[in-house]
Chains A and B, each alone.
Chain A
Amino acid sequence: GEDVEQSLFLSVREGDSSVINCTYTDSSSTYLYWYKQEPGAGLQLLTYIFSNMDMKQDQRLTVLLNKKDKHLSLRIADTQTGDSAIYFCAETNILTGGGNKLTFGTGTQLKVEL
């Protein structure tokens, strides 16, 4: 089956930029998502990008997509302590399951230090 991989941990200082990386195997991925999970909570959608886009920016968040390398990244500018959470990358393919079956990465735990 398809696979999505992420590094497990990232530690940054408050005020710095964070870059969380994700690689995927499905060359036909149509949509790619970033979700945030805080302790004891569900997954909160942060942003998503359609595969025909290279970049998407939303306030402090910038998503970069390199389709050739099947690499997705999430950059958080001016990282705050409230950004500490687990970040999940997910992909779906419209051609299989109508875009309803998400494949999630293992999640990256972001720790923001003062």
Chain B
Amino acid sequence: DAGVIQSPRHEVTEMGQEVTLRCKPISGHDYLFWYRQTMMRGLELLIYFNNNVPIDDSGMPEDRFSAKMPNASFSTLKIQPSEPRDSAVYFCASKPGPLDGNQPQHFGDGTRLSIL
């Protein structure tokens, strides 16, 4: 089975540039999550979607961050303009809907983002 697929795996860009991270969830999963991992703050939930609709974006740090899910198989996390403090590993995760019980989240391999 294909897992959660993220692209790119690595991104290095200069501050002020727009960054777009992409995620393809596991087919049939109704929930999609975006996390950020840093040494200082650990794993933080940024936003999650249910059936393509954003449910909780309280973890999105600033207006520079935005996330979309135009269809069930694709989501983007965009940072515009990017800043050096946005450097982190960004993970996408997905899980099935509640009809399958409270199933755990499955994570992608992450995008390692470096803003110079």
In angstroms, Cα B33 to Cα A101, docked, is 9
Name the prevailing secondary structure of the A interface residues: mixed
Of A42, A45, A98, which one neighbours B98 at CB under 8 angstroms? A98
Q: Is the CB of B48 within 8 A of A100?
A: yes
Shortest C-beta distance, B92 to chain A (Å), equals 9
Query: Is B105's CB within 8 Å of the partner chain A?
Result: yes
Of B48, B104, B108, which one neighbours A42 at CB under 8 angstroms? B108
Residues of the B chain whose Cβ atoms lie less than 8 Å from the Cβ of A31: 102, 104
| B77-116 residues at the A interface, CB under 8 angstroms | 91, 93, 95, 98, 102, 104-110, 112
The size class of the interface chain B forms with chain A is 20 to 34
Residues of the B chain whose Cβ atoms lie less than 8 Å from the Cβ of A107: 42
| B10-65 residues at the A interface, CB under 8 angstroms | 31, 33, 42-43, 45, 48, 50, 55-56
B interface, CB within 8 angstroms of A: 4, 31, 33, 42-43, 45, 48, 50, 55-56, 91, 93, 95, 98, 102, 104-110, 112
A interface, CB within 8 angstroms of B: 30-31, 33, 35, 40-45, 48, 88, 92, 94, 97-102, 104-107
Q: List 24 A-B contacts (CB under 8 A).
A: A31-B102, A31-B104, A40-B109, A40-B112, A41-B109, A41-B110, A42-B91, A42-B107, A42-B108, A42-B109, A43-B91, A45-B104, A45-B106, A48-B104, A98-B98, A100-B31, A100-B48, A100-B50, A100-B55, A100-B95, A101-B45, A101-B56, A102-B45, A106-B42
